[in-house]
């Protein structure tokens, strides 16, 4: 799950310079078995709780040593929520690397996310839904304060030029909604639409401001020189890198991250003569005007990764 989310983040061009910024996430530590309501009777476990109340309890844990704390619970949230977080902002507390702050008489961690594995009817959510919820809340934690429908630009709603009409404002875009749309859309068993795996321009603009500000903080973003197939940058022994799921689907030359030959030449005949002109080859040069093993990186890649501590817990009183 985290690998899939990191793939989306690493292959995203946050600053709109036409190149992926290679900013991803990874797990540092995991903890099992935290009990938020110690005095609660077992028969009360299935009673939905306000997500914000749960978040405030989770916030009492100290995540000062990491960029972000992520909690998973099997408790159903009220009001149809499947995730909640303190959103990052340049004007208020919350989000990545914003650690302990006073709130309602307690010092609380503001760099946290909480995800419920239960749906509206109390049923268990699929891994697809949980991954989607976590990606959405990470967007908030990274700086997307507004949902896409709160922006005035219809392009950030998922509509292509000329697609939106005032007569059908509630219609669904052909390419689907972006990640920061407030409600999940689409069949979880169907193939995701193009926009479902992307952040809108509006969200990227908000997130870019927070990234630029907080990457200056100590122990927030750290360099990682390990290759990551799928970030759009050719590294290490990679022959190519077609980038995101969507970009890889547009070509047959390079193997995608989850293919049988990740970041290796799949079909040399389908490769362009000058891969540097194609975005799925990343920021690299080609030698001797050929493909394959002659691809080489012309500089070292600096990957900035926020530390994430993932806390997976369950209320043991349910047993």
Domain layout of the chain by residue ranges = 1-225+299-313, 238-278
Residue 214, C-beta contacts closer than 8 angstroms, at least 6 positions apart? 88, 95, 96, 97, 98, 220, 221
Mean pLDDT of 311-316: 37
Cα–Cα distance, 301 to 187 (Å, whole number)? 38
Average pLDDT, the chain: 77
- How sure is the predictor about 300, in pLDDT bands with cuts at 50, 70 and 90? very low
Tell which CATH architecture fits domain 1-225+299-313: 3-Layer(aba) Sandwich (3.40)
Question: With 90 as the cut, is the pLDDT of residue 140 above it?
Answer: yes
- How sure is the predictor about 180, in pLDDT bands with cuts at 50, 70 and 90? very high
pLDDT at site 318? 33
- How sure is the predictor about 87, in pLDDT bands with cuts at 50, 70 and 90? very high
pLDDT in tens, 233-275: 888 899 999 998 888 998 999 999 999 999 999 998 888 754 4
SS3 for the chain is CHHHHHHHHHCCCCCCCCCCCCECCEEEEEECCCCCCCCCCHHHCCCCECHHHHHHHHCCCCCCCCCEEEEEECCCEHHHCCEEECCCCCCCCCCCCCCEEEECCEEEECCEEEEECECCCCCECCHHHHHHHHHHHHHHHHCCCCCHHHCCCHHHHCCCCCCCCCCCCCCCCCCCCCCCCCCCCCCCCCCCCHHHHCCCHHHHHHHHHHHHHHCCCCCCEEEECCCCCCCCCCCCCCCCCCCCHHHHHCCCCECCCCCCCCCCECCHHHCCCCHHHCHHHCCEEECCCCCHHHEEECCCCCEEEEEEEEEECCCHHHC
| pTM, 2 dp | 0.80
Say which of 43, 137, 166, 238 is annotated catalytic: 137
Residue 150 is a catalytic residue: no
Ramachandran angles phi, psi of 183, nearest 5°: -120, 145
Question: With 60 as the cut, is the pLDDT of residue 15 above it?
Answer: yes
Cα–Cα distance, 112 to 84 (Å, whole number)? 9
């Amino acid at each position: 799950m985290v690998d899939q989310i990191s793939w989306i983040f690493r292959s995203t061009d946050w600053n709109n310079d036409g190149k992926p910024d290679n900013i991803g996430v990874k797990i540092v530590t995991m903890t099992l078995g935290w009990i938020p309501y110690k005095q609660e009777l077992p028969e009360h476990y299935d009673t939905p709780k306000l997500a914000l109340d749960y978040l405030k309890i989770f916030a009492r844990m100290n995540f000062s040593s990491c960029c972000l704390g992520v909690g998973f619970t099997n408790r159903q949230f009220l009001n149809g929520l499947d995730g909640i977080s303190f959103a990052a902002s340049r004007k208020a507390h919350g989000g990545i690397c914003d650690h302990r702050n006073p709130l309602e008489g307690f010092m609380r961690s503001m760099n946290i996310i909480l995800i419920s594995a239960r749906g509206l009817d109390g049923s268990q959510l699929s891994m697809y839904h949980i991954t989607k919820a976590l990606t959405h809340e990470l967007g908030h934690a990274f700086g997307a304060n507004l949902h896409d429908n709160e922006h005035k630009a219809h392009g950030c709603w998922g509509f292509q030029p000329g697609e939106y009409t005032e007569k059908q404002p509630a219609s669904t875009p052909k390419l689907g909604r972006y990640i920061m749309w407030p409600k999940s859309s689409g069949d979880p068993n169907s193939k995701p639409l193009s926009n479902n795996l992307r952040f809108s321009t509006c969200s990227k603009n908000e997130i870019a401001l927070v990234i630029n500000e907080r990457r200056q903080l100590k122990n927030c973003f750290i360099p990682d020189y390990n290759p990551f197939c799928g970030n759009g940058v050719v590294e290490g022994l990679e022959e190519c890198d077609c980038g995101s799921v969507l970009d890889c689907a547009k070509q047959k030359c390079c193997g995608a991250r989850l293919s049988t030959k990740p970041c290796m030449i799949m079909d040399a005949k389908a490769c362009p003569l000058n891969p540097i002109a194609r975005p799925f080859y990343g920021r690299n040069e080609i030698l001797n005007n050929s493909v394959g093993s002659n691809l080489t990186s012309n500089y070292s890649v600096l990957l900035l990764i926020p530390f994430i501590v993932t806390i997976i817990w369950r209320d043991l009183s349910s047993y």
